[in-house]
Each structure stands twice: as C-alpha cells, then as structure tokens.
Amino acid sequence: MSRNLALALVLLAVAAVIVGHVRRRGPRRFDSDRIAAAETRMWQAYYSGDSATLGRELVALLRGQFGLSSRNAMEVGKDLARATLAFQSLGGDYERHVLPPLERAYARLKAATDGAWDPAAAAHAELDWWVARRTPGRDSPQHVGRAIARLYTILYGESNADIERAGLLRAQAAHLRDASARAGKGCDWNEVQRILEESYRSLRQGL
C-alpha cells in the first residue's frame, strides 16, 4: 500500500463518517476529536507496516461512527486500490486509467451515505491532490491543503474560510509526518493528532 493510498483511504473513510453525521444528525454533531484520534492511529498503523490494524481501524471508523457496512467499505477500498495502483505506474494519462475506478469509489460512497455530490467531480478533486503530492512545486501544505479543501467543498457543499483552514491543517499534519521521515527522526504523533483535531474542529465549524 502506497503513502497516497493510505492517506486516500483515510480521507474516504472520514468523508463517509462526516457525510453521514451531517445528513443524519446535523453538522455540529460529529465528534471531531474522536475522528482525529482514529485517523492518527490509522497513520501510525500504516507507517509501521501494520496493515491489519489499519484495516481494522478503517472498518471500525466507518461502522462505529456512521454504520457503513464492511462490504461497502471493502468495495470502496478495492476501487480506490485499483486507482492508486494505476497512478503509481503512470506519469500521465490519468483520466483514462485512474479516474474510472476513482469515480466508482465515490459513486459507491455516495450511495452508501446518501450523498449529494457528483462522483466525477469528486474523483477529479481526489486525483488533483494525489498529483499535487507527487509534483515538485505543488507539494507544499498550502497547495495540497487547497486541493483537499476543494474536495471538501464538493462533498459537503460548503466553501468558506473554516473549510479552507481544515484542508490546510490536514495537509500540514501529513507534511509533518513526511518531513520527520525525510529527516530520519521519529514522528511526533501527539502533534499530528493535535493538528488533525484543529482541522476537524475547523471543518465542523465550516459546515
């Protein structure tokens, strides 16, 4: 599983949870700190090579916080895996090979959560931040954060300063982990979780 796939799986899992809460309980009711803690555990599991724990955390987040079935979670994950494997092997031609399975993933997620977004638009936004993380000059937290915020806008139908800040903070958390790895240092997971908590509080405020 690649770094992009791990982060993308987490993004989709959290998207499903938050969409479900927004639609069923209202935008202020999702537990931002609990979701941040779960995401931190998923990142730790992935980067330590513990794929079994990563899978369990993903399913627990989807089922426990929203009630998505294991089958739906697996179907979304398989489509996303196909998209990521294609992305890893290509230097271009993404619309032909990467977008179709990404669009299927978002169509499945839409059906499972009673979402209102356009799966094609969500898939394009997802691919945009994948490409940004791969491209020198576009891989800064600021650029990736804007791309994540655009995805949030498509999924939740809102665009404001709080949502933009949520995207930036999410990208900063990922950048902190990556920078620690490049420097050969252990990651400060408490700080990662703190940034993610701020990110989800900001997202909740913006919805």
pLDDT tens per residue across span 39-55: 899 888 877 877 678 76
B/e letters for 46-56, b = 16+ CB within 10 Å, e = fewer, are bbeeeeeebbe
Tell me how far apart the alpha carbons of residues 119 and 102 are, in angstroms, rounded to a whole number. Answer: 8
Confidence label for 22 from pLDDT (cuts 50, 70 and 90) = low
Q: What is the DSSP letter of 137?
A: T
Which residues 6+ apart lie within 8 Å of 84 measured at CB? Answer: 2, 4, 5, 8, 130
Give 143 or 59, the one with higher predicted confidence.
143
Confidence label for 199 from pLDDT (cuts 50, 70 and 90) = very high
Tell me how far apart the alpha carbons of residues 177 and 26 are, in angstroms, rounded to a whole number. Answer: 32
In this predicted structure, the answer to whether residue 3 has a pLDDT above a threshold of 70 is: no
Tell me how far apart the alpha carbons of residues 151 and 144 are, in angstroms, rounded to a whole number. Answer: 11
Which residues 6+ apart lie within 8 Å of 78 measured at CB? Answer: none
Q: For the segment 147-167, what is each residue's pLDDT rounded down to a tens digit?
A: 999 999 998 888 999 999 999
Tell me how far apart the alpha carbons of residues 13 and 185 are, in angstroms, rounded to a whole number. Answer: 28
In this predicted structure, the answer to whether residue 138 has a pLDDT above a threshold of 70 is: yes
Task: Count the neighbouring beta carbons within 10 Å of the beta carbon of residue 30.
Answer: 22
The distance of Cα 80 from the centroid of its chain, to the nearest Å, equals 11
Confidence label for 190 from pLDDT (cuts 50, 70 and 90) = very high
Q: Report the percentage of the chain scoring pLDDT > 90.
A: 34
Is residue 157 left, alpha or beta, with left meaning phi > 0 and alpha meaning psi from -120 to 50? left
